[in-house]
Structure 1
C-alpha cells in the first residue's frame, strides 16, 4: 500500500517509555495515552471509491507536546490526593473494565482537566453522540471538540489497538486477538461509517458543524519474535511501541523464553504493567495439551504476546 522508509529499524523494544516513571497505575495509563504517538503518520485512504471527508492524524510531535504540557499535572496526580479525582472519573464511566472505554475515559479526563487548567485549547462539546436514521441508532461519534486556537469544531474518533503483525506488514496484516479484527478493517469502518457527519446535534451547544476530523489510533504492535531487519512502512510512526509475539505452537522458541518465567498479564496490563501482580499468577500450563493460552505475558519487564499463527477464532476481550 505504501513504500517503506529508507532506513531499516531492528526489532528492538522501545525503551523510550516515559509513562513508566509514574507509580500509580491510572496515572501511568494516562501518561501512556498522552505520550504514545498515533500509529499512523498519515491517514491511508482505505476506501477511495466512497465519498468520504478528509481525515487527519495528529503528529508524534503533537502528542509529545501535549504530554510535556501536562507533566506537572501528572506529577500532582501521582503524588497527591488529586489521584482520587482521576479514579472516580474513570470508575463512574460505563464499562470501565473494557480497554476501549478505559482509553476513552483517560483521554476525556485529560481533555476536561487540561482545558480547565489552560494546558491545551480543546473544549469538549459532546462525547458519545448517537446517530439516528429515523428512530434507529446507526452509530456513535466519540468526541466533538472546539479548538479555541484554530477556531473550529473537530471530531475525534478513537481506537486503542493491540495488533500482531506478519509480513508484508501492510495494514491488513496487523491483526488482533480476535482474528477478524485488523488495522485496515478498523480504518475502513472509521472512514466510511463514523466520519460521514457534517452537522452534529449536541445537548449543551446546539447544532455544530464539523470543521476537521481526526483518527486517533494508539496501542501497541507486536512483531513475530526473532524478526530481523524490520523496516517501518512510511505510514507507521517510528516511535510507536513495538514488541514481540510468538506462535503458541512454536515449542522450540517458547523453550528459549523459559515458560516458567513468564507471567500472564492482567487484562488492563495491555496499557501498562502492574508490578503488584508479580508472583500472583497461577500455573501457566493450564490449557489443553500444556499449550499456553493466547494472550499477553511478561518475561520480566518484556511484554510478549502468545498467539496462534494458524487461524483460530478467539473470544475478543479487548
Structure 2
C-alpha cells in the first residue's frame, strides 16, 4: 500500500476538500441529525461492481442533486420541527424504535421518519411498503432488507439498503482503503456484502401490500470520512462525491511496538508513518480547546456539550500550551481552532463570498472541527463504529 507523503507539522497545508454543513443551522439535536441525513450526499457517485463474475442485479445510487432537492422540499418542515412542539413527534418516533442509541439504527430511524412524515405531508413520492424485511433460508434468518418503497412518480417498487459509515482513509484511497476505526470493516467489503446478499432479493412479502416485485435497487451510504493529516492536495476519486463530509484523522502513539490489535492493518502503517513527524504537540499547536465527542456526535456536533471540558484535555489559554497527543484516548474529538488553522478545512474550496461571510461572522473566529485520534496502545478505550 502506498503511503501519503510525509511533511513536517510546520508545513502542513489544507487538502483540497469541501465541507458544507447546512445541518448546523438547526438547534435541536434530532432535527440537526435529520437535516444531516437529508443534506449529506451519498458517498458514491456511482456503484462499483466488485463481483463482476457473479450475476447480480443492477444497483443505483442517488446523485447529490437528488438529496439537495429532498432537503429543500423538507426544509420548511425541518424549521417547524426545530421551533415548535412538533419536535416531540420526531423524538417519540426515534426513541420507540429498537436500539435507538446505535448509530446504524439511528440513521435508519431518521430516514424512516422522513419517508413516513414527508409522504404524509406530500413532500416526496415515496410510500413505505415495508421495512426490516426478514430473509430466510428454510427456517433460518439470513438477513433483512432495510426499506421497500413505492415511488408514485416513477411507478416503481424500490429497495433501499442503508449504511452509515465513519471511515479513515489511506493512500491510494480506493474503497478498500477506507476502513473503520477498530474493525476490519471497509467500504469495499460493505458494498460487496450489499451486492451479494441484500440486493439479490427479487420478490418481497409485505404485511399490508402482499407480495411485491422489486423494480429498482438503491444503495444509500452516508457518514463522515477522515483523511490522514499527512495528505496534501487530496484529489477525489471519480466514485467519491466531492461534497461528501471530509475531515482528518491523526495517530497518537508513545510506543510504536505496541500496536492495538483491534486497529485495521490498513491504518496501522499510516499510524506509524504519522508518528515519524509527530512530536505529540506539533499537530495540535494553535488549538485552544479539545473535547472528546459523545457517541451520538459521530452524526452531528451537540453544541451544548462544548462547555464540558475534561481538565486533562483542555488547553491553557494563558500560555497556549498544546495538549499531549499521546494522552488522548482513541476516538472522535472536537478541536477548537482559530480561523485559518490548518485543521480548518471549511474554507478550502468555498467561494470568496462564503469566505467573506465567515470573516465577518465573529462567532466563526474560533470554532470546532472534528478530528479522529487513533491511539495505538492496547489498553486505550475504543469507540466501535460498526452498524
User: Do the aligned partners of residues 312 and 158 (structure 1) sit closer, same or farther apart at CA in structure 2, a change above 3 Å counting?
Assistant: farther
Question: Residue by residue, what CA displacement relative to the aligned partner does 1:257-281 show, whole Å, maximum 9, x if unpaired?
Answer: 1587221000000111011112324
Shift of 1:80: 0.3
Shift of 1:207: 0.4
Q: Does 1:147 align with 2:151?
A: yes
Within the candidate set 47, 63, 83, 2:51 is matched to: 47
User: Do the aligned partners of residues 15 and 169 (structure 1) sit closer, same or farther apart at CA in structure 2, a change above 3 Å counting?
Assistant: closer
Query: What is the 5 A alignment of 1:22-37?
Result: 22-37=26-41
Aligned to 2:191, what secondary structure does the other structure show?
helix
Asked if the contact 1:12–1:243 (Cα under 8 Å) also holds between the matched residues in 2, the reply is: no
Tell me the residue number matched to 1:293: 329
Aligned to 2:221, what secondary structure does the other structure show?
strand
Q: Does 1:277 align with 2:305?
A: yes
RMSD of aligned alpha carbons: 2.2
Quote the Cα distance in structure 1 between the aligned partners of 2:171 and 2:47. 21
Within the candidate set 128, 131, 134, 2:135 is matched to: 131
Question: Residue by residue, what CA displacement relative to the aligned partner does 1:10-61 show, whole Å, maximum 9, x if unpaired?
Answer: 6256442110000101000000000000000000001111121100000000
Q: Does 1:305 align with 2:372?
A: yes
Quote the Cα distance in structure 1 between the aligned partners of 2:375 and 2:63. 33
Within the candidate set 239, 253, 257, 2:284 is matched to: 257
The range that moved more, 184-193 or 250-259, is 250-259
Quote the Cα distance in structure 2 between the aligned partners of 1:209 and 1:308. 48
Asked if the contact 1:243–1:303 (Cα under 8 Å) also holds between the matched residues in 2, the reply is: yes
Quote the Cα distance in structure 1 between the aligned partners of 2:376 and 2:61. 31
Tell me the residue number matched to 1:160: 164
Query: What is the 5 A alignment of 1:94-243?
Result: 94-243=98-247
Larger Rg, first or second structure (1 or 2): 2
Question: Residue by residue, what CA displacement relative to the aligned partner does 1:72-114 show, whole Å, maximum 9, x if unpaired?
Answer: 0000000000000000000000000000000000000000000
Aligned residues: 307
Structure 2: state its 5+ residue gaps. Answer: 1-13, 254-274, 314-324, 337-367
Quote the Cα distance in structure 2 between the aligned partners of 1:107 and 1:45. 25
Quote the Cα distance in structure 2 between the aligned partners of 1:310 and 1:153. 49
Q: Does 1:90 align with 2:94?
A: yes
Aligned to 2:372, what secondary structure does the other structure show?
strand
Quote the Cα distance in structure 2 between the aligned partners of 1:185 and 1:312. 28
TM-score with structure 1 setting the length: 0.91
User: Do the aligned partners of residues 23 and 280 (structure 1) sit closer, same or farther apart at CA in structure 2, a change above 3 Å counting?
Assistant: same
Asked if the contact 1:37–1:59 (Cα under 8 Å) also holds between the matched residues in 2, the reply is: yes
TM-score with structure 2 setting the length: 0.75
Structure 1: state its 5+ residue gaps. Answer: 1-9
Q: Does 1:316 align with 2:352?
A: no
Asked if the contact 2:252–2:326 (Cα under 8 Å) also holds between the matched residues in 1, the reply is: no
Within the candidate set 41, 57, 73, 2:61 is matched to: 57
